[in-house]
Amino acid sequence: MIVNYTKKGWQVVTQRQHGILAALFAAEWKISERPERWMETLLAIAEHDDAEIELHGENLLTDSGGPLNFDMKEFDEAYYEKLLRLTITKNRYIALLISFHIEFLCSKSAETNSKAKSFLKEQGILRQKWMHELNLKEKDVLRTYDLLEWCDACSLLLCQDLVQPQKRKLEISTGPDKTSYYVQQAGAQKLTITPWPFETEKFVVRFEYRLLHQLQFKSSAEFRKEFLSAEVRETIWEVVHKTVPKKKNKV
């Protein structure tokens, strides 16, 4: 889960909600730049965190009793195996993209964790097998994965409430074209992204979150109870293409 501390309490966004937001950005991508397996790519983006279910498990809290933010979790082989089981039973192409995402997420852990290192080695072997079976070149798959990673990064910035005030630019990530993209406010509940990678001039994205007023929990079970009873709210952003006004011709 994605956890933000606010004046009113914990703002909690589920991992799967974050995945939906990532897919909303992907769905607006320029048609000419979309990969051939477009529907499968959208499913991979939308479902890249589907194995994370906040109502399951017994490791939902920090040592001080607050909700555990996603980036505080250590390498969890069981979680990644579950995610891969979910994807490989859809199809190999989706599993391939998710496997590259796991590599992206766990490469740092593999530097010091032997289990993570061994797990990623096995994933590399599986990816080569799947690409051979699907007659795909690694460079083409990586270009599509770069789109998944970009949408993931963009979604996380919004879910973590990191968009800067006063129209200051914030880097998202590099896209499939290896270009750096930036997000900034363009008005009340409006965003713009430069350079503009989308097909339409404007569109709307949204995500749900829960606001928990209780700051400390005795157990994961207590947290789940509060989570389920919390009010569900929604954040809405209009994403617009800012254009430079044309200069008026002098008379």
Write the pLDDT tens digit of every residue in 182-231. 999 999 899 999 999 999 999 999 999 999 999 999 999 999 999 999 99
Handedness of CA 244, 23, 182, 191 (dihedral sign): positive
| 18 CB neighbour count, 10 Å cutoff | 24
Q: Taking 60 as the threshold, does the pLDDT of residue 247 lie above it?
A: no
246 or 64, which is more confident? 64
- pLDDT above 90 covers a percentage of the chain that reads 76
Average pLDDT taken over every residue of the chain: 91
Q: Taking 80 as the threshold, does the pLDDT of residue 249 lie above it?
A: no
Q: How far is CA 64 from the centre of its chain?
A: 27
How many CA atoms are closer than 13 Å to the CA of 146, on its beta-carbon side? 18
| pLDDT value at residue 53 | 67
Q: Taking 50 as the threshold, does the pLDDT of residue 251 lie above it?
A: no
Model confidence pLDDT, tens digit, residues 163-181: 998 889 999 999 999 999 9
| pLDDT value at residue 75 | 83
Helices (H), 91-166: 92-106, 114-134, 138-159
The bridge status of strand 232-240 relative to strand 2-6 is unpaired
Name the nearest CA neighbour of 83 among 63, 105, 108: 105
